[in-house]
Structure formats: C-alpha cells, structure tokens
C-alpha cells in the first residue's frame, strides 16, 4: 500500500497537490489538498476492469470555477440555511446568501474553496491522508476559530473511511459532508438512472420550493421515496410526485436514517456489477440525483448533463438550526465534533 504525491496545479502562489492512495487490490483514490476534493476512485467491475466511478475535472481551474461541488468537503455547514442567518444565544449571525435568498454549503468561500494542510500515513494495513484547516472566527459569518481535520483512509478490503473532526473556541455550527458524485458504470459510460438504491429509512424531509425543509417528516411508504427495498433512480425521475417535481424531476432530499453502521445505504449498478455500501454515524443522508446539472462543459471528457452522477451526502439534517425537532448541529465551545462515514466498494455476485 502506498500514497503517491504529485503537483496538481497552483493557486494564489500556493501549490495544490494530488494524493493517490493505492491498496494491494489495485483500488485507487485520488484527492487534492484544495477543498479535500476526491477526484477519482478506481475500482474493478464484475469482469475485473478498473475504472473511475466518481465525477471530476482534469484541471484545477475547472474545480476553482465549477459550481457543482464535485468531490469536495463542504462546510462549515452542509446544505441550506434559510435566509442566510441564524440566532445563537440571543445573537444573530448573518451569512452569505449564495443561493437565491439562502446560504448553501458554507458560503462563497466554504471549505471546498480553501487549500488545506496535508500529511500522509502509510502502513501495511491502510494508508491515509489527513487534511487540516483553521477556519478563523467570522469566516463566511460563522463564529469561532475552528480547527478542522478530515482524514481519508483506504484499506485492503476496498473500504474508504472519512473521519471528520473539529473543535472551536466559541459556540458555533458545524455539519460536514463529502459531495462526491458517484457513477458506478465506470468512466461515465452511462448516466445513473438505472442505478438502484436502498436506504434504511422510513422518513424523508418535505421540501418547499426553495428546497428548504418545511419541518415535516413524511413517510416513504407508497411513494417514490421508499428505498427500504431496492429502487431504480429512474423511478423518481419519472414520477409525478410533487416532491420529485419540485426538485427538478428527481431527488434532492434528506432521509432520516433508521440504522447506523449497518449497511444502511447501498448503491448498485447491475450492468457493471459494482456496488457501494455506505455506513455512517450521521442521522441522515441527502440523496441528490444531479437534477440541476447543465448541458454545458465537460466532465472528464463527457458532456455534462442531468443525472450524470448521484450524491449520497451523509450529514445532519439541513437547516436544523431553524428546526428544533431536528438533531442539532450546534457545537459547544471546546467540545469535539466527530463524524465517521465508511464506503465499501464491491462487486455483486454474478
């Protein structure tokens, strides 16, 4: 097992490096110290062909100017915050309104737009890259100096573990996720409409027309949001359910998980045979089926279009600061924030 470090580009006179984690099975993961971006994940299909299964760009300039958060770590707070403001202990904090009238994924310069420090760890059982960043008090409007660490670890069981941690010198908000777009066809040969998904969840969040939670938890049963058994993504894209139509014909919805570290999220592509099993300690997962992707530009040489990838964003529920019935993202002073999500890459039996 090894980690290969290479120069990927330069930004503001700083070097941006790529780090490729390689295990003994031939699986590879490449990431950047810019935005902790995962640029490639190379895994085998049922015939042993190794191909990339995430969306990304060839150049740093494309990541800097891109608007899809491909492969990034987003924060301080993933998802939307209504009207770009919140109250904490009687004080109102104002954030950037970078999506219509709301705050999205940490603002104009969230964690996805900064250069992180990086360190490598290698041993016989696993290899890791740890990224660290000090988010200063007031950055994007949030209180507190927050020390953030994100560690990507690859082992010989073809498992990627993402471990997030943070500590603040003031009471603040923190809710991190990774925003990789998966496409298990390999090298983007097809879109994700015929991928099937299962989620251990019997509730999803109702959204309003700004894609903000209304606060209502809806039953999945009898709807296109019932992933308690495998369901094709295409079934939600073609559905006339008002929530699918609201999201742009597809999914952009938070699901409340009913189980943790229990194979609770499974994505499968029956053609390639590839499977992805996700386990997390987070209360929810946002399923985004790429409905807002535009038919302009290219992603690894493939014309961009809707449904080219699917995001499975393990995190706290969006806009929780405005919904006391949701699990809280408030981080107390000197309290450690931790979150772990594991991605197991496999192949279905023929």
The residues carrying an active-site annotation are 179, 313
255 touches 206 (CB < 8 A): no
């Amino acid at each position: 097992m090894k980690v290969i470090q290479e120069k990927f580009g330069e930004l503001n006179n700083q070097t941006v490096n790529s780090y490729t984690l390689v295990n003994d099975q031939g699986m590879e993961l490449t990431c950047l110290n810019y935005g902790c971006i995962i640029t490639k994940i190379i895994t085998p299909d049922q015939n042993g062909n190794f191909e990339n299964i995430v969306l990304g760009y060839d150049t740093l300039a494309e990541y800097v100017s891109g608007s899809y958060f491909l492969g990034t770590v987003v924060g301080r707070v993933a998802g939307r915050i209504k009207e770009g403001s919140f109250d904490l202990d009687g004080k109102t904090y104002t954030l950037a309104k970078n999506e219509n009238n709301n705050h999205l994924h940490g603002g104009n310069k969230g964690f996805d737009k900064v250069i992180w420090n990086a360190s490598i760890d290698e041993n016989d059982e696993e290899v890791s890259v740890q990224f660290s960043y000090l988010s200063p008090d007031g950055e994007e409007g949030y209180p507190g100096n927050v020390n953030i660490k994100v560690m990507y670890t690859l082992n010989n069981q073809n498992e990627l573990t993402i471990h997030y941690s943070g500590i603040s010198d003031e009471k603040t908000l923190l809710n991190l996720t990774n925003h990789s777009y998966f496409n298990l066809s390999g090298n983007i040969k097809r879109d994700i409409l015929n991928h099937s998904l299962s989620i251990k969840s019997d509730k999803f969040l109702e959204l309003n027309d700004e894609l903000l939670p209304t606060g209502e938890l809806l039953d999945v049963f009898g709807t296109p949001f019932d992933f308690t058994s495998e369901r094709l993504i295409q079934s939600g894209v073609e559905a006339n359910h008002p929530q699918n139509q609201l999201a742009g014909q597809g999914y952009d919805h938070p699901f409340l998980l009913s189980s943790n570290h229990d194979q609770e999220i499974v994505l499968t592509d029956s053609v390639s045979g590839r499977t992805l099993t996700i386990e997390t300690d987070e209360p929810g997962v946002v399923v985004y089926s790429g409905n807002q992707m535009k038919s302009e530009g290219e992603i690894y040489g493939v014309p961009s279009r809707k449904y080219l990838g699917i995001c499975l964003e393990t995190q706290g529920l969006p806009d929780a600061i405005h919904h006391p019935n949701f699990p809280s993202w408030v981080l107390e002073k000197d309290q450690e924030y931790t979150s772990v999500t594991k991605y197991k890459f496999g192949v279905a039996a023929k």
